[in-house]
């Protein structure tokens, strides 16, 4: 009579884990976070060279910014470099952008990029127009150091 061998359930092969679903999940999560991340890009007017302030602080949240550039000669431009000829045009563009941001639930701020050689009275004009439009918070754009500065002229 032949003896029956008992099956213990252990094969000579090593157990392996299939990593394909794990890798798929990692890529899906990566795509999800990339799509949901908001990239905030502020266009910079090449004719504006902001001043250097050694005690400046980098803003953490760039949302809600209404960009107004003040060139050395007192000319104003918006983020698309459209020239804003007077205080009324600054008021109108700030008012329009403020209404958009209010509907999105953002707190609007005036992002003032003044040239280092521009007189402050031009900046005051932009600040006054923004205040009349209902935007009372102002962020002044400055460089932290001279390193990497390029001439705007």
pLDDT digits (tens, 9 = 90+) for 99-124: 999 998 989 999 998 898 999 999 99
pLDDT value at position 109?
92
Domain residues for the domain of 95 are: 41-153
Q: Residue 62: inside a domain, yes or no?
A: yes
Q: Residue 1: inside a domain, yes or no?
A: no
Which of 47, 134, 68, 148 lies closest to 99, judged by CA? Answer: 134
Q: Residue 136: inside a domain, yes or no?
A: yes
**How many structural domains compose the chain?**
1
pLDDT value at position 152?
45
The reply to whether the predicted model has a pTM over 0.85 is no
pLDDT value at position 9?
60
CATH number of residue 125's parent domain: 3.30.420
Token code pair at residue 70: 């003040």
Q: Residue 69: inside a domain, yes or no?
A: yes
Q: Residue 3: inside a domain, yes or no?
A: no
C-alpha to C-alpha distance for 76 and 111, rounded to whole angstroms: 13
Average pLDDT, the chain: 83
pLDDT value at position 61?
73
pLDDT band at 126 (very low <50, low <70, confident <90, very high): very high
pLDDT value at position 146?
64
pLDDT digits 0-9 by tens, 74-95: 999 988 888 999 999 999 999 9
Q: Is 32 exposed, middle or buried (0-12, 13-18, 19+ CB in 10 A)?
A: exposed
pLDDT band at 153 (very low <50, low <70, confident <90, very high): very low
Q: Residue 81: inside a domain, yes or no?
A: yes
Which of 39, 69, 82 lies closest to 141, judged by CA? Answer: 69
Q: Residue 8: inside a domain, yes or no?
A: no
pLDDT digits 0-9 by tens, 42-65: 667 788 888 888 887 777 777 888
Query: Residue 59: left (phi > 0), alpha (psi -120 to 50), or beta?
Result: beta
Beta carbons within 10 angstroms of residue 96's beta carbon: 12
Q: Residue 2: inside a domain, yes or no?
A: no
């Amino acid at each position: 009579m032949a003896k029956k061998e008992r099956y213990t359930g252990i094969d000579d092969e090593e157990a392996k884990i299939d990593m394909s679903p794990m890798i798929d999940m990692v890529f899906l999560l990566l795509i999800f976070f990339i799509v949901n991340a908001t990239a905030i890009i502020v266009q910079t007017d090449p004719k504006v060279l902001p001043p250097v302030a050694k005690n400046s602080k980098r803003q953490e949240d760039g949302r809600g910014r209404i960009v107004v550039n003040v060139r050395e000669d007192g000319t104003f431009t918006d983020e698309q470099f459209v020239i804003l000829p007077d205080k009324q045009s600054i008021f109108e563009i700030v008012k329009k952008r403020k209404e958009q941001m209010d509907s999105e639930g953002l707190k609007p701020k005036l992002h003032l990029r003044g040239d280092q050689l521009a007189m402050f009275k031009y900046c005051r004009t932009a600040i006054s127009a923004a205040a009349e439009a209902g935007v009372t918070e102002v962020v002044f754009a400055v460089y932290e150091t001279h390193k990497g500065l390029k001439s705007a002229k």
